[in-house]
Amino acid sequence: MSVLRLGHVQLRVMNIDEAIEHYVNVIGMTVIARGSDGKAYLKCWDEWDAYSLILEPSDSAGLTHIAFKVAADADLDALADRIASSGADVEHLPAGSLHACGRTVAFRLPSGHQMILFAEKDGLGTDVGNLNPDPWPDSIHGIGAHWLDHLALVCEFDPARGLNTVADNAAFLRDVLDFKVTEQCLGGPDGSVMIAAFLTRTNTPHDIACVPGPSSGLHHIAFFLDDWNGILRAADIVAKSKKQPSLTPNRHGMTRGATFYMFDPSGNRNETFAGLGYLATADRPLVTWTEDQLDRGLFFLGGEDRTFVEVYS
């Protein structure tokens, strides 16, 4: 049994039309379906599942749930047993509870974020198909993001009260769902407090990251681009469209990715992340950053400030 990869995220947005305009015309996604409840389902051109992003009309911004795809339907029962054995409440939902999905298993991470596992989702194929495909489609628009790459959760963190859901999440994802911790940042008086964790189920530096904050939330969702030129073009498109950037183009020390951040109209932070970073094979040694080098780990080129970790939805 195994978790394969990130399947989708569901975001709350305060103006669905403005949100759709952003994710279509800036990020470069396509609306695949609209629900009677107002939700919109979108995918990137290089994704084959029916969608990777659900936009949910709401009076506040933030994350509703994250969903990971598992290898087979039978894995849902086996993983549900492991999750329940860890002490988490598990809910089994029938096929169709999520649009275009088979049955699902829902639970909450130690940080309180809802996570859903599914095995089946309708497939639409990539925009270039699987037979003698071109490198990119003629219909590419906006930034032209390839796929939803990863996300970062803000996890309640107060070591003075013995509260560290960064470490709790990392332990749960590692021990229950077999994620690999690729990088960590340690701090505290004796350097034993986990401040941040990066975890993967694929071969990339992270499918999910956990970072500290005074309350749980969403730090960002990230979309994959080819290279540094794609990052600069993304920044140009955001500036040209008079959207709200979060930070200027930079490079992460952690994960090595070239990066540019912006906000959607509701205040959900988006990242464009370019390059593999490194190959996160199962036997790759754990990378550790110390708290005194955190700024360099966040932004290797410098020039950014700590408000990056303090502002989230």
- Which residues are identified as catalytic? 150, 206, 220, 252, 261, 271
Other beta carbons within 10 angstroms of residue 65's beta carbon come to 18
Q: Is 93 exposed, middle or buried (0-12, 13-18, 19+ CB in 10 A)?
A: middle
**Nearest to 181, CA basis, from 156, 203, 206, 163:** 206
Other beta carbons within 10 angstroms of residue 291's beta carbon come to 15
Beta strands in the chain (DSSP E): 3-13, 30-34, 40-43, 53-57, 62-70, 91-93, 104-108, 114-118, 148-158, 163-164, 180-187, 193-200, 208-213, 217-225, 244-251, 258-263, 269-274, 287-290
CA–CA distance, 251 with 259 (Å, rounded to integer): 6
Helix (H, G, I), strand (E, B) or coil at 101: strand
CA–CA distance, 165 with 158 (Å, rounded to integer): 9
Query: What's phi and psi for 156, nearest 5 deg?
Result: -60, 130
Work out the angle at residue 256's Cα, subtended by the Cα atoms of residues 181 and 309, and round it to the nearest 5 degrees. 75
CA–CA distance, 8 with 287 (Å, rounded to integer): 27
Q: Beta 180-187 vs 287-290: how paired, if at all? A: parallel
**Nearest to 51, CA basis, from 10, 96, 17:** 10
Written as six digits, the tokens of 299 are 């932004």
